Structure 1
Amino acid sequence: MRLSHQSELAGLRKIFAPLDGAMILILVLIAALSIVAMYSASSDIPERFPDHIRNLGIGFVVMLAFAYIPPQWLMKAAVPLYVIGVVLLIAVALFGQTKLGAKRWLNVGIVIQPSELLKIAVPLMLSYYFHLTGIVSGRQAWFSFGLAGVLLLIPFLLIAKQPDLGTALLVVFAGSYVIFFAGLSWKVIWGLIGTVVFSFPIIWQFLKPYQRTRIEVLLDPTSDPRGAGFHILQAETAIGSGGWLGKGFEQGTQTHLKFLPERSTDFLVAVLSEEFGLIGVILLLVLYLMLIFRGLSIAHGASTRFERLLASAITMIIFTYAFVNMGMVAGMLPVVGVPLPFMSYGGTALITLGVGCGMLMGVRHHRIR
């Protein structure tokens, strides 16, 4: 009887071995905060709350499924996924559906947004590429990093042309993290940053009018308080009125009097801040820091260059989502429509992030086997 019991326990341990308990606990706590904030934020759109619960469930199921995929399989899928993603982006440019002036969707029996695939496909492809090239120096390094830049530039230009600058920048960040962790020289990095800064007057000429407005409003939201600056001003009011402890659950005036726009999507953290105050936001920040630390520790102990680069990039993508969202809600960055990880309403982002966290668990499991 004891041997049978021990064998059953061993079987269960083997089944659940790929799952990272610490990461799952952190994500469950973030999701719990999300559910509480979403319940209040979606009070005037009641169907959003059950939809959000469903999307969270799908995201977690996808995450658990990807935790069982060996990194070797991901390496084999890197090139096909990248090629398919780029082909789909070209198809969008030629045959895509246009909504609100943007051509981002493709009807293939169901309507899909191929740019979301590139958030995963680009870091996968570049991690595999640098895994093959290994550590290089001299002229070979210039060629290696130059080709990586081309692989990153192709999807960026195709997505930016849709136009979808927010997603294009997220794809650039995802790929740039891989290039950085692959060993790109700091001299080159500062040179690129300097080039972008000094080229800004030229870049400005190519920006769409609404993109210019976002930057102008960032510098002075009161310049258009009833238009483009409305989001930032109302978010700042909600955050400030919450104080240390907040007004209480479902007591946020900016939220429930409908002054705060996009409160269940991009500006959900403003709802959290108004109702639970600075303490609620600090709790969320601590959870994100724990998640990022966990991801980087997994990357540090990865077995191969591919796994290390991929895990590092995925972790920094999560950081970028959180940093950009909170930065734009606080009026420190332009409003670009980046969701808060595992918090904001929206199924696509939850699935993408679920895939990323599942990959992190797969890398960890591979390391300890």
Structure 2
Amino acid sequence: MAPDVSLAATPHRRVFAHFPWHLALIVLSISAIGIWNLSSASRSAHAPVWISQTWWMGAGAVLALAITLVDHRAFHRMAWVFYAVVLVLLVLVMVKGRYVMGARRWLTIGPVNFQPSELAKLSVALALASFFASDTEKRKDGYGLLRLIAPMLIALVPAVLILKQPDLGTALIVLSVGFTQILFAKVRWKTLALLAGVAVVGSVLVYPHLKPYQKKRVETFINPEADALGAGYHATQSMIAVGSGQGLGKGWGQGTQTYLSFLPEQHTDFIFSVWAEEHGFVGCLLLIALYFALVTSAMDVAGNARDRFGHFLAVGLTGMLFWHVAINIGMVIGLLPVVGVTLPLMSYGGSSVIVIYSGIGLLANVGMRRFVN
């Protein structure tokens, strides 16, 4: 008797029947907009960074696809190994890292330069997902403060190492990823209130130990016009660029703040300002709508995950995307201090692109397997 071909279908075929194509379409749409926007932002630069960004996105897409082929439970087993490797890399940065603009954030391995701090975002998401997947069932009455010491340390240790580089923005993202996962782990309300108080006190205690330029950024956030040509220059020029776009923008390649290089870091931290100047309020609404769709799609994956590890991993990755977008846009329009956080798939940077695409691959992985035993 001939075998039933339908019954012989491979597991991969069954899994890919549930591939979240809407998530992939959103990511590709933002990526295409990002490359188009970078080609304008880099007109006054010495190198057309949008070309290398395209290559990085291509590599990221291949990596994301490769990640979807591996059952996410395998990442559960590897989470702590990856976390330990990232911690070692962060220590190596402090010893062997390359200085760029006064900060030691880069490691060089052969022809490749990368930022281990970017990998820390994924490592914390994976490690906390593994922790809560193994521990949450034992805490049906909710987590108290003592029970949260371990997960808080998991996020705090890499964040402190990153802060030493110094890189305040990435450290905040790592802490935000951890906080998001902890928040979804059924924490008692009294504990949350206590943690909020600890965060406020901690911020007051940490502030005197920040670098002078980091303190200045916080001070100029309160009153950027007080030093508009100095520490407040970034925020002031960014708000000028955003405001000058008005309703429909000046058009692609017509942004004067961008072309005349008044806008600092225009291809990285302030890439949203370039978009706002050239495409206006309507263009900003379109981009924000795409990010909203991306975050809500990620939330849907988290809510429908088949197991605890997949749920907490998707929660952490959703938090990574959300906080990147919220902090970056809040920063460039003057609602938050300038802390050096990139805009996912829009800002230039190979390490950032690879990590974001890896996160998308993990999200797709969890979403694909919610109907598969």
Structure-2-length-normalised TM-score: 0.91
Provide the residue aligned with 2:150 in structure 1: 147
1:44 equivalenced with 2:44 (yes/no): yes
CA distance in 2, matches of 1:11, 1:94: 46
Give a deviation string over 1:50-80, Cα, whole Å, max 9, x none: 1121122122222222122211111011010
Equivalent runs, 1:271-350 vs 2, <5 Å: 271-350=274-353
Greater alpha carbon shift after TM alignment, 134-143 vs 210-219: 134-143
Note the aligned Cα RMSD (angstroms).
2.5
Shift in alpha-carbon separation, 1:310–1:238, aligned structure 2, 3 A: same
SS at match of 1:367: coil
Identity rate, percent: 38
Equivalent residue for 1:223, pick from 198, 202, 226 = 226
Q: How far apart are 1:224 and its partner, in Å?
A: 1.5
Give 3-state SS (helix, strand or coil) of 2:370's partner. Answer: helix
Matches within 5 A, 1:64-75: 64-75=65-76
CA distance in 2, matches of 1:328, 1:209: 19
Show structure 1 runs of 5+ residues with no match.
none
- Give, as a single letter, the amino acid of the residue that structure 2 aligns with 1:196: A
Q: Which amino acid aligns with 1:50?
A: I
1-side partners of 2:196 and 2:21: how far apart?
A: 39
**Deviation (angstroms), 1:102:** 2.5
Distance 1:11 1:200 in 2: 50
Measure, in 2, the Cα distance between the counterparts of 1:140 and 1:344: 37
Contact 1:19 1:67 in 2 (8 A): no
Query: Would the aligned equivalents of 1:102 and 1:162 in 2 still touch at CA under 8 Å?
Result: yes
Identify the residue that residue 131 of structure 1 maps to in structure 2: 133
Retained in 2: the 8 A contact 1:298–1:360?
A: yes
Task: Call closer, same or farther: CA 1:336–1:291 in 2, change over 3 Å.
Answer: same
* CA shift for structure 1 position 354: 0.4
Match of 2:123 in 1: 121
User: Would you say the 8 A contact 1:71–1:362 is kept in 2?
Assistant: yes
Number of residue pairs matched by the alignment:
366
Q: Which moved more, 1:173-182 or 1:14-23?
A: 14-23
Contact 1:302–1:364 under 8 Å retained in 2: yes
Listed one character per residue, the Cα deviations across residues 109-145 of structure 1 (whole Å, up to 9, x for unaligned) are: 4544322221101110111011111231569854432
Distance 2:113 2:51 in 1: 22
Amino acid at match of 1:41: A
Q: Which moved more, 1:233-242 or 1:354-363?
A: 233-242
Question: How high is the TM-score relative to the length of structure 1?
Answer: 0.92
SS of alignment partner, residue 227 of structure 1 = coil
Displacement, 1:203?
2.7
The answer to whether residue 37 in structure 2 is matched with residue 34 in structure 1 is no
Q: Distance in 2 between matches of 1:223 and 1:141?
A: 44
Corresponding residue number in structure 1 for 2:77: 76
**How many angstroms apart in 1 are the aligned matches of 2:142 and 2:191?**
14
